[in-house]
Amino acid sequence: MSTIYEPQGRAREYSPLALNFYKGCTHGCIYCYVPPMFKRFNAQYNHENCFPALDIKKLEQSAKKMQGCGKQILLSFTGDPYCGVDDSATETVLKILNQYGHKVAILTKGGKRCLKHLSIFKEFGNRIKIGATLTFDNDEMSKGWEPGAAMPSDRINTLKELSENGIKTWVSFEPVIYPEQSLRLLSAVAKIVDHVKIGKINNFRGWDKKIDWNDFLKKAVQICRAAELPFYIKADLRQFADGVELSENETNMDFLNL
């Protein structure tokens, strides 16, 4: 916590660097990979017990050491920076990273909660992008699967407002649970956001075995290309790319980084 690091495995597809400064998350997404991971090391771990875990001195040292690296830093993998608890830690992190000239990518399901930091985002200029994870196209299913997260319309409207204010925006389509809903969401944001990253669902109750991933991939690529929307197809989904021609950029995990 509080130290900039290079993520490994699937996480590396999101960003060359990352920073975690929350433990837990109030969104309660039932597909989340973090609680099972932490429970391997601590059986008493409760992901709903969300709190900032920020060591400002360590962050200052890390940010200074990495100054000038030119690599994007993602906030964050172990908790959402706008999960509804005290977000003063997020404000502190942003100010320190901006002070040292770092590039920052945010991924959140918090919707309009992030707008309180719009003025800080603007101070970054072209060194920041704000993204949302989109999973369901209706409130009922979102409440069932992601009970503490902002509703889908809130997330999309927030992306619109950020874009209108000159902030670069993006969307992560992972996990994909109901492909038809993800495709509708992709069409809805295709002219709003600057790029998207598209994956699938993995290791969740065998859910991925029910889905025709080749069909989903073909349709997703068609939507992106028709809208001239830059996109990246994650490695797990690329396994199903039979008959789908993808360019070098569309399979380069660093192509869409700041």
Residues forming beta bridges with residue 171, ordered by sequence position: 132, 196
179-189 and 213-226 helices cross at what angle (nearest 10)? 10
The token pair at 186 is: 């992709």
56-65 and 88-99 helices cross at what angle (nearest 10)? 30
Is residue 233 predicted with pLDDT exceeding 90?
Answer: yes
Which has the higher per-residue pLDDT, 150 or 1?
150
Within 78-210, strands assigned E span: 103-108, 128-133, 168-173, 195-198
- Half-sphere exposure of residue 74, counting CA atoms within 13 Å on the CB side? 26
Report pLDDT digits (tens) over 135-156: 999 999 999 999 999 999 999 9
Give the CATH superfamily of 9-251: Aldolase class I (3.20.20.70)
Report pLDDT digits (tens) over 123-137: 999 999 999 999 999
Distance separating alpha carbons of residues 32 and 119, to the nearest angstrom: 31
Return the domain boundaries, the chain: 9-251
Distance separating alpha carbons of residues 116 and 196, to the nearest angstrom: 24
